[in-house]
Amino acid sequence: MIGICDSGVGGLTILKDIHKRYPRLDITYYGDEANMPYGDKTKEELEKIFSDIKAYFKDKGCTDIIVACNTMCSAIEFNDDTIKIHDIITKTIDKLDTPKDKKVLVFATPFTIKKGRYQKGLAEKGYQSEGIALKDLARDIEDGIDKAVIKDKLYQEFRKHQDENIGAIILGCTHYPIYKDLFYEYYKVPVFDSLGLAFGLEDSDEKGAISLHMERSDKLAHFLKEYIGDIKL
Ligand code: DGL
C-alpha cells in the first residue's frame, strides 16, 4: 500500500492520476484539512505535520509516501530508512521541454515560492524563471469558491505578470490543475503540472482499494466526484 498526502483536495489530482496508471495498487489518501492551508505555515510547523502524517502511513503499513504537495516538498527531508518518500518538485521540473530562451512562470503558494526549489531547479537546467505566490488560490479552491470569482482574482494577478517572453507555466501547487484551463486561457503557453510523474511503483495483482482520510463534507462532494469519480472506496 502507498500513502498520498496533501493539505486537502489538491492531492486528489495526483491520486486520480496514480490510480489510473496503477489500478491494482492500494492507496490511502490523507487530506489534512485541519491544517489547511500549508502555504502560510513555517518550515517547523510543516515538518511537525509531516512527521504525524508519516506515522499515520507507517501505522497503516504503507511502503511509500507520495508527497502530493509542493509546499510540503519544499519543507521536508526525503531520506528515511523506514519508508520511501517521493518528492514531486524535481520530477515536475524534469517534465519541461520548452525552449530555454523564454521565461518560465512558476505559480505556487507563498511558502513554495519563498523556498525557491522550483526557481533553483530551473536555473540549474538553464531556464530563467519568475516565482509568483498566489496567497488565496488553494484555499479558494478548497472552499469551493465559484469559478468566475476565482477567474477574476487570478486575472488581476496575471495582468501584473505579462511579458512577451513567457514560454511556459508551472503549476507548483497540486490544487491548481483543477483550474489549469484558466492559466492556459490567459497565457496561451504550455502549462506543466505534477501529473504523470514516474515514481517507480509496482502494480499488485489484486484489485486496488482506496481509502480516504479526510472530512467528506458537502463542500468537497463535487471534488470527490470529479477527482475520485467511479473509483470504489
Ligand atoms: N496543494 C498544496 C501544494 O501543492 C498546498 C496548498 C496549501 O495548503 O496551501 O502546495
Split at pLDDT 50, 70, 90, the class of 206 is confident
In terms of average pLDDT, the best of 45-49, 200-204, 219-223 is: 45-49
Q: Is residue 167 part of a domain?
A: yes
Split at pLDDT 50, 70, 90, the class of 181 is very high
Distance 9 CA to ligand 1 centre (A): 9
What's the whole-model pTM score? 0.94
The C-alpha cell 523564454 sits at 102
pLDDT at 217: 58
Are residues 57 and 139 located together in one domain of the fold? Answer: no
Share of the chain above pLDDT 70, in %: 91
Number of domains in the chain: 2
154, 171 Cβ separation under 8 angstroms: no
CATH of the domain at 207: 3.40.50.1860
Domain that holds residue 71: 2-88+196-228
Are residues 120 and 102 located together in one domain of the fold? Answer: yes
pLDDT at 30: 94
Are residues 9 and 61 located together in one domain of the fold? Answer: yes
Which residues does ligand 1 sit against, CB inside 6 Å?
A: 6-7, 10, 36-39, 69-71, 109, 112, 138, 173-175
Q: Is residue 233 part of a domain?
A: no
Instruction: Judge whether residue 92 has pLDDT over 80.
Output: yes
pLDDT at 216: 62
DSSP summary character for residue 195: -
Cell of 13: 489530482
Are residues 36 and 105 located together in one domain of the fold? Answer: no
Instruction: Judge whether residue 106 has pLDDT over 80.
Output: yes
